[in-house]
Each structure stands twice: as C-alpha cells, then as structure tokens.
C-alpha cells in the first residue's frame, strides 16, 4: 500500500458477519495485557487503527474497521478522559469483548 507493506486480519468477517447483518468488517484485536503501560499500548493501537482504516479505504472501501478491546480494559482505561477523547476525535468504532466468556459484550459505532 503506497510502498509500505500493511497486513490486516480480515478473517473476522466470517466470525461476526451474521451479527452485523451482512456488513463487511475488519477487526483489529488488542489484548492490553501490559497493564503497567496501557497508555503505550493505546498509542500503538490507535496508530495502527488509523493506518489500517486508511489502507482499507483505499483497497476495500466497503469494509468497516473496528478496534476490539477486552471488557476489563474498556471498563478501566477506556473510561479515562484522554482515551475517551481520542476515541471520539478519531471516530474509532469499537467491539468490547469478554475474554472469559468469549463473547462480544458491546458494539460502539
């Protein structure tokens, strides 16, 4: 893509297409396992999301990109003012997933 090699996992379409009423999606899943550096992981996740979204718009504009984050991280880190503001400012669509129950808890458009 523009001289840069970008890899996006598009396998998620089959996994959750039925719940999205046939909408083609791509999902960038983040685990946020490094609790001591959540802000660093957030910077990486947000940067990747923005880059992947731009790549998808050029290659597969019919796809909608979502950032998937664990429920525990969403309930803690993503409730802070700065992450909330950056998610809103960058119009990040999110999937909140429950790691233990292996289900999608919430879709945020």
pLDDT at position 106 over 60: yes
* The pLDDT of residue 2 is above 70: no
Q: What's the pLDDT tens digit per position in 45-57?
A: 999 899 889 988 9
Q: Which domains are delineated in the chain?
A: 12-108 (3.40.1350.10)
pLDDT at 11: 41
* Alpha helices per DSSP H over 17-109: 38-59, 71-75, 81-89
- Tell me, what's the pLDDT at 20? 57
In whole angstroms, how far apart are CA 73 and each of 1, 59, 67?
Answer: 31, 31, 13
Please determine, for residue 89, whether its predicted confidence score (pLDDT) is greater than 90: yes
**pLDDT band per the 50, 70, 90 thresholds, residue 80:** very high
CA distance 55 to 2: 9
Per-residue confidence (pLDDT) for residue 83, from 0 to 100: 96
pLDDT, average across residues 79-91: 96
The structure's pTM equals 0.80
Q: Residue range 29-35: average pLDDT?
A: 77
Is 74 in contact with 65 (CB distance < 8 Å)?
Answer: no
């Amino acid at each position: 893509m523009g001289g840069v090699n970008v890899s996006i996992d598009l396998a998620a379409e089959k996994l959750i297409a039925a719940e999205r009423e046939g909408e083609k999606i791509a999902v960038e899943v983040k685990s946020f396992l490094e609790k001591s550096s959540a802000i660093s992981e957030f910077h990486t996740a947000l940067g990747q999301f923005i880059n992947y979204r731009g790549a998808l718009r050029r290659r597969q504009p019919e796809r909608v990109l979502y950032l998937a984050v664990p429920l525990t991280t969403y309930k803690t880190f993503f409730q802070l003012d700065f992450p909330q503001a950056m998610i809103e400012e960058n119009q990040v669509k999110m999937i909140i997933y429950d790691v233990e129950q292996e289900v999608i808890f919430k879709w945020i458009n």
